[in-house]
């Protein structure tokens, strides 16, 4: 076989160029498209404006940044700059971590001037350091008539009152959500906030986080108007029942601390509209004094003495931190008695606290016929729990059996989230398979799982089987099973000494469309 001749570099480039252009001259090709001729530039301005809105960060209160919308859109071209400049909704949300009068006030004023007449979502964080910063507050108060969602974070205001919100008083007709976070703030410097909120006719949702609070201050809030209330304090004492007496329209409540004093026996408070309860495990004793006939959603979490976020992160890895280890098992009797006393139909239960197997099963039995969603984060699932949730044939005299003969705990359960590592000794395959099989039979009362979020150690035998089940289910009926499996592997931890290992997460989401 003859060896092809070796071409020099110039000849090789010439041949490649001729091959690419097929012998045509370069000037026969159309020029590259200009910005004005790009397909996106042909879109109607209204549609381009809508597309820009989808570019906004997902945060409720995004911090302005040149690398994200809307500022990034202003630097693409003049046409985009004009569209972004006149799209009011792009400028209607902002979080400002206030630091400088000379820089922050003019920049914030310019930003808000672009928002036109759009309703505003504003977040302001200030470290007062015992000094007034009235200029930025005056600027925001100029737009008070358009406030819809507002968050204030105030720190280091132990002094007498040094600021006011006078320009916003009786001028917040649209305000529906307010969040106040205070650290080292005196009662006199909280007064402007309570005065402002008392003039908000449409305020429905309030989050109040204060390291020192008192019942008198909170009673000054417009509690009867609220449908959602979240309270968290580090110190002080609150009379929760006195507060709840004023919350006749409450639909959601979150309580974390402080732990109330032992309450004397008294007539339980009836809250007819409350559907969602989010409460720290150490204050569930207050439930003995409530009747909640509309309650549907319950969340019980670790008390606020330890960081819930940290505990969640370590518990999902199967690591026991000192904070978790020191926690006693939660006794759910107060919650169970509330459910029985209220005759409510709890549909979702979220537990992130150590609890014994028997107590967890008792919780599920209390909402056996109504529960549709269960999230477990505070303890590893036990074989007893899986066994009770798995449909089994009832003991019948007849040898023939149908789906009606199968019984299990929580037959309507369709969503299961186990956000802590499932041990190798525990399997959920039979649980998932049996519920899927029975759900396809006529006249069944047992629901299949349509959402599963499970945390396994890498290599667990359940993983490939459950993925196969999800694929088959979605092939029969699109989006019928949403399966997410988190795998934890063992490897070297960053910064650890040689030879030390620890668990880390490897997430793999199985899309329902696959």
Q: How far apart are CA 182 and CA 189, in angstroms?
A: 10
Query: 55 in a domain, yes or no?
Result: yes
If you average pLDDT over residues 139-168, what whole number do you get?
Answer: 95
- pLDDT for residue 181: 95
Q: Is residue 66 part of a domain?
A: yes
| 217 assigned to some structural domain | no
Res 225: pLDDT: 95
Q: What is the pLDDT of residue 117?
A: 94
**Is 48 a residue whose pLDDT tops 60?**
yes
pLDDT at 463: 94
Q: What is the pLDDT of residue 122?
A: 96
Indicate the Cα dihedral angle 408, 414, 417, 418, nearest 10°.
Answer: 20
Question: Domain range for residue 76?
Answer: 43-91
* Dihedral, 91, 93, 95, 99 alpha carbons, nearest 10: 40
Asked if residue 310 has pLDDT above 80, the reply is: no
The predicted structure's pLDDT at residue 263: 59
CA dihedral 410, 415, 419, 422 (to 10 degrees): 60
The pTM of the full predicted model, rounded to 2 decimals, is 0.78
Helix, strand, or coil here: 422?
coil
- Within a domain: residue 420? no
**Between residues 421 and 452, the one the model is more confident about:** 452
**Residue 308 clears pLDDT 50, i.e. is over it:** no
Q: Average model confidence (pLDDT) for the chain? A: 82
Question: What is the tens place of the pLDDT at every residue in 49-72?
Answer: 888 999 898 899 999 988 889 988
pLDDT tens-digit series, residues 73-123? 888 888 888 999 999 999 999 999 999 888 899 999 999 999 999 999 999
**Angle value at C-alpha 362, between 360 and 367, nearest 5 degrees:** 100
Q: Are 155 and 184 in contact (CB under 8 A)?
A: yes
Residue 460 located in a structural domain = no
> Of the spans 160-174, 381-395, 431-445, which averages the highest pLDDT?
160-174
Q: What pLDDT does residue 509 have?
A: 52
What is the DSSP secondary structure assignment for residue 94, as one 8-state letter? E
- Lowest-confidence region among 28-37, 130-139, 149-158, 217-226: 28-37
What's the alpha-carbon Rg for the chain, to the nearest Å? 30
**What percentage of the chain has pLDDT greater than the value 90?**
50
| pLDDT > 80? residue 363 | yes
**Model pLDDT, residue 15:** 59
Percent of the chain with pLDDT over 70: 78
Number of domains, the chain: 1
Average pLDDT over residues 213-221: 88
Please state, in angstroms and rounded to a whole number, the distance separating the CA atoms of residues 234 and 436. Answer: 47
pLDDT at 196 over 50: yes
* Residue 432 · residue 466 · CB < 8 Å: yes
Q: Give the dihedral sign, CA 139/141/145/151.
A: positive
- Give the pLDDT of residue 78: 86
Q: What's the confidence (pLDDT) of residue 313?
A: 45
Q: Is the residue at 282 inside a domain? A: no
pLDDT tops 90 at residue 144:
yes
């Amino acid at each position: 076989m003859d060896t092809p001749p070796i071409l020099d570099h110039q000849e090789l480039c010439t041949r490649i160029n001729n091959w690419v252009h097929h012998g045509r001259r370069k000037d026969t090709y159309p020029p590259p498209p200009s910005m004005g001729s790009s397909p996106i530039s042909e879109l109607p301005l209204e549609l381009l404006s809508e597309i820009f809105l989808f570019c906004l960060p997902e945060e409720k209160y995004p911090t302005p940044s040149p690398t994200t919308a809307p500022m990034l859109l202003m630097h693409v071209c003049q046409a985009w700059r004009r569209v972004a400049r006149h799209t009011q909704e792009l400028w209607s949300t902002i979080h400002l971590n206030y630091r400088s009068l000379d820089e922050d006030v003019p920049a914030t004023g310019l930003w808000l001037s672009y928002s036109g007449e759009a309703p505003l979502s504003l977040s302001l964080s200030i470290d007062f350091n015992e000094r007034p910063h009235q200029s930025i507050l005056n600027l925001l108060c100029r737009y008070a008539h358009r406030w819809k969602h507002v968050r204030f974070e105030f720190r280091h205001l132990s002094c007498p009152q040094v600021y006011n919100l006078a320009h916003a008083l009786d001028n917040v007709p649209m305000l529906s959500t307010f969040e106040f976070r205070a650290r080292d703030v005196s009662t006199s410097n909280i007064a402007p906030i309570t005065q402002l909120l008392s003039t908000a006719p449409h305020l429905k949702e309030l989050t109040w986080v204060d390291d020192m609070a008192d019942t008198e201050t909170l009673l000054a809030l417009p509690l009867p108007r609220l449908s959602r209330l979240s309270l968290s304090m580090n110190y002080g004492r609150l009379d929760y029942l006195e507060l709840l007496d004023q919350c006749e329209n409450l639909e959601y409540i979150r309580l974390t601390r402080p732990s109330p004093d032992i309450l004397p026996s008294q007539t339980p408070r009836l809250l007819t509209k409350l559907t969602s309860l989010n409460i720290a495990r150490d204050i569930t004793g207050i439930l003995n004094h409530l009747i909640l006939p509309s309650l549907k959603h319950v969340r019980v979490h670790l008390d606020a003495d330890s960081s819930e976020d940290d505990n969640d992160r370590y518990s999902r890895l199967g690591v026991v931190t000192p904070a978790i280890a020191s926690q006693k098992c939660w006794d759910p009797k107060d919650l169970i008695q509330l459910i029985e006393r209220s005759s409510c139909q709890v549909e979702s239960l979220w537990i992130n606290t150590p609890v014994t197997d028997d107590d967890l099963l008792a919780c599920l039995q209390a909402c056996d016929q109504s529960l549709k969603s269960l999230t477990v984060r505070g303890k590893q699932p036990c074989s007893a729990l899986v066994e009770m949730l798995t449909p089994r044939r009832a003991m019948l005299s007849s040898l023939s059996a149908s789906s009606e003969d199968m019984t299990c705990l929580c037959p309507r359960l369709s969503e299961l989230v186990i956000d802590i590592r499932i041990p190798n000794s525990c399997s959920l395959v039979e649980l998932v398979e049996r519920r899927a099989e029975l759900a396809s039979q006529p006249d069944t009362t047992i629901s299949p799982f349509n959402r599963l979020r499970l945390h396994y150690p890498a290599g667990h035998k359940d993983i490939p089987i459950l993925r196969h089940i999800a694929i088959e289910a979605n092939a029969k009926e699109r989006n019928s099973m949403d399966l997410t499996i988190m795998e934890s592997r063992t490897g070297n931890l960053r910064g650890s000494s040689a030879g030390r290992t620890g668990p880390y997460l490897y997430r793999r989401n199985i899309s329902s469309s696959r």
